[in-house]
Amino acid sequence: MEFLKFSLAGFDDFLVYFGLSVLFVALFLAIYVHVTPYREFALIRQGNAAAAASLSGSLLGFVLPLASTVVHSVNLWDMALWAAIALAVQILVYLAVRGMLPDLIRHIPEGKTGSGVFLGAASLAAGVLNAACLTY
């Protein structure tokens, strides 16, 4: 049973970091869907692949740097700061893609998958770069 004691030694830290990560993901989704002028979850429920691709890419683009902050942060405040930066990066990516594709706000609700896939890919690419930059 001694091995179990050592195996579960960090379980309380796991619970704190995992719980905080789930809260950050929920906060990210709430803010992101508020920033966009269309309702992603309603569109996804209707089978809109463009909305699913764009939101999925953005979510993954946020979660990758969030995971990096869990690994590299020195405390919970450090994690929270870098999670906020990861959130801001995803909002900026959305705004940049919207600037490049002015019809994006019409294309996503119309289900034009090209726009949704591009937004999702840009969000994911930014998230990968963001996560890589967090290896301090």
By C-alpha distance, which of 55, 131, 41, 50 is closest to 94?
A: 55
Phi-psi region of 36 (alpha: psi -120 to 50; beta: other; left: phi over 0): beta
Q: How many CB atoms lie within 10 A of CB 100?
A: 11
Domain-embedded: residue 2: no
Query: How far is Cα 14 from Cα 84, in angstroms, rounded to an integer?
Result: 20
Judge whether 105 lies within some domain. Answer: yes
Residue 108 in tokens? 């996503």
Structurally, the chain folds into a number of domains equal to 1
Domain of 62 in residue numbering reads as 40-136
Examine residue 73 and state whether it is found in any structural domain, yes or no. Answer: yes
Q: How long a stretch of residues is the chain?
A: 136
In a domain, 58, yes or no: yes
Q: Is residue 67 part of a domain?
A: yes
Backbone angle region of 65, left / alpha / beta, with phi > 0 → left and psi within -120 to 50 → alpha = alpha
The pLDDT of residue 11: 87
List of the chain residues with pLDDT < 70: 1-6, 136
- pLDDT score for 69: 95
d(CA 45, CA 32): 17
Could you tell me which of 89, 69, 87 has the C-alpha nearest to residue 79?
A: 69
Q: Considering the entire predicted model, what is its pTM?
A: 0.91
Contact 46, 109 (CB under 8 A): no
So what's the pLDDT on residue 5? 63
Q: Is the separation of the CB atoms in 134 and 69 below 8 Å?
A: yes
Q: Judge whether 66 lies within some domain.
A: yes
What pLDDT was estimated at residue 135? Answer: 76
